[in-house]
Structure 1
Amino acid sequence: MRQGIRLAALAAAVVLAGAARAENGKVEAEVFAKLPQSVGNIAFTPDNQLIFSHHPFFSPDIRVARLTSPTTFEPFPNAQWNTPRKGTDQYLDNVLGLRSDESGVVWIIDMGFRTQITPKLVGWNTRTNRLERIYYMPEPITVKGSQPQDIVIDQKNRKFYIADEHIGPGGDGSHAAIIVIDMDSGVARRVLDGDRSTVPENVPITVDGNDLTVPGKDGKPAIIKVGCDGITMDVRSEWVYFAPLSGRSVYRIRVGDLNDEKLSPEQLSGKVERYSDKPNNGGLSIDYAGNLYLTAVETKSIGIVGADRKYRTYLSDPDMVWPDGITASPDGYMYVSASQVSAAAMFHGGKAENKTPYLIYRFKPVATGYISR
């Protein structure tokens, strides 16, 4: 099915798994899809096509896919773009973050370090089934260790805002940053590099009592620390919200300040506001009422920060292992993947605990969300 299928048709075949309920007993999450490979992030087009990345942590052959049924997928935008080739960079190499705009263009962040090509932002127009545009992110926009992996599309100010968590090869989160790309000129800037608001805090990521560690520079186990990960923006395009995965704080900055090229790094840092408490979280999304939704990777749950700026658990499920990408759909639901990253062999003495199926959930948010944030 070259043009994919509509989510309305998929909904008729949704598998309702054990209900996941919030503390108030009212919010339920449904298992919407059961897939054979780990799902990273999710995007929706205006006509409800579900596009997703296979999590790059597991080195998938198909980097990006379109859901064709609750258990099947096809390469997106096609097989050729999912096949690395010599003599060109017109392919998807290493993808986690992606998002659709209101015109049906799916914007895909290619981190590039799997086959050592320049990181880029690829736009594929689902209405014309053609390449829309490529924005490149060479040095110094990206740096050694860069892992740009989540995106906000700001049509009002004609900008993309990309979170670089800086845990790619050679990275340790210490140079996490936000990348700002001008849609019209293609000019990119790297801002808040190494800022207190983007770098990870020295707190462990603990899943089922197990601190996740990686080999440190001395060869001994060191807690994994992940920098600026989730990023989103309110409906008025006034505030960008962001947070390191490893850390207890959500931050925000006015869009006008983020785009003010006259501000020095120190002045820009001074414009950042600590917004709320949080647990270690990956994905970040927002609804029209300004509620933030966070994927709490340690507790198999989705959290919410409302107008009172206080964090609370919204829903949870024992099979929601490492909830990752979270996004709104035109159908009124929010969707979240359970990537099982924390169950991988490297975190369990070489014995893999991740297993099929890999799940995509959906749930009703407090208020409707929107696809480009």
Structure 2
Amino acid sequence: MEILNKVIEVEPVKEMLDYQGKYGEYGGAFVPPVLEEQLEKLSVCFDEIVTTEEFGKEYIAILKDYVGRPSPLYYAANLSKYVGSRIYLKREDLNHTGSHKINNTIGQILLAKKMGATEIIAETGAGQHGVATATACALLGVPCKIFMGAVDIQRQALNVKRMEMLGAEVIACDNGTQTLKDAVDAALGYYIEHPDSYYLLGSHVGPHPYPKIVGYFQSVIGSEAKQQILEKEGRLPDGIFACLGGGSNAIGSFSAFLADDEVAIYGAEGGGEDRNGNTAATLTYGEPIVFQGTYSYCLTDEKGDPTFSKSVAAGLDYPGISPQHAYLKDTKRCDYHSVTDQEALDAFRLLSRLEGIIPAIESSHAVALAVKMLKNKGQLAIVTISGRGDKDVERDF
């Protein structure tokens, strides 16, 4: 793709196209036969379409003129003084719709239209992916259905109203724990029954080719951040931090730095309060199994079956995880930590009061981990603020 911005290259990281379904032993597509043909078609179309100059120019133009990319890399002077390290914030919260999710939804809906899809279906937990999907569908003129757990509908009521205002049909999922896992199950079930739909998966999970697709569209985050930090500091950071539930903003942030061994990479999982089933820290307490179409780490019960997750952050409240993050954990390229609800809430308030930036409670997990790991270290670091916290300020924590 042609670079349209001479200072900051907003295009995705091309190396993300190289993955063909496996990250070491993880990944793959474990789906019913009825889905195999649809996923194979999606894989072929993605590889053919997104590499064209026409698609690249259209996608990048929307990112720049509609989404507002590149998002700023902001030096958080007050937070840096408090922590004792130089901390930059990658401000995905300043994107149109208020999170990183719009990077992926714009890309996938452009792809879906070129594939002739009649409607878009999606799942959402915190509602940010749902809002981004509804927004992109409104922009590009495609109807959409958003599946959301009934519990998440209650705790993210503002985002539900936003989705409906944008024209989306929000479908409540009353099964299981009524959270993100169940919304994914419901969306996949609908997709099987309606093959003319396009399933717009929002995180870096699920069967191939979804992790590859989502990782590619989200890699603009790391691509920008790398160029921005070099421009501002003249060197790479000592570390980079991001939160992860499924793992899309994290893999987007990490992608451009994976080959830079001098850069330490940290992922913050939703830890809930303890390890006795009351957690969403999949990489910390899970084990590898096949779950929702892919082989990766997952929280399991005593029988080895998938179990529920628990996090104050709806967007992290998911028992599975990206297969690429599973690989990065096992190879020790990335360092993943569990962050408790209370630690995240403390960081939520800390960033709000020190910098006048109200982060999503999901992003607050990354802030909390950075504060802990960088205290009085004098290091240079980037923390991705994956979303803004408007949706969380009225919650009764």
Confirm or deny a common fold (TM above 0.5): no
Select the structure that is richer in helix.
Answer: 2
Select the structure that is richer in strand.
Answer: 1
Q: TM-score, normalised by structure 1?
A: 0.33
- Structure ranking higher on relative contact order (CA contacts 8 Å, 6+ apart): 2
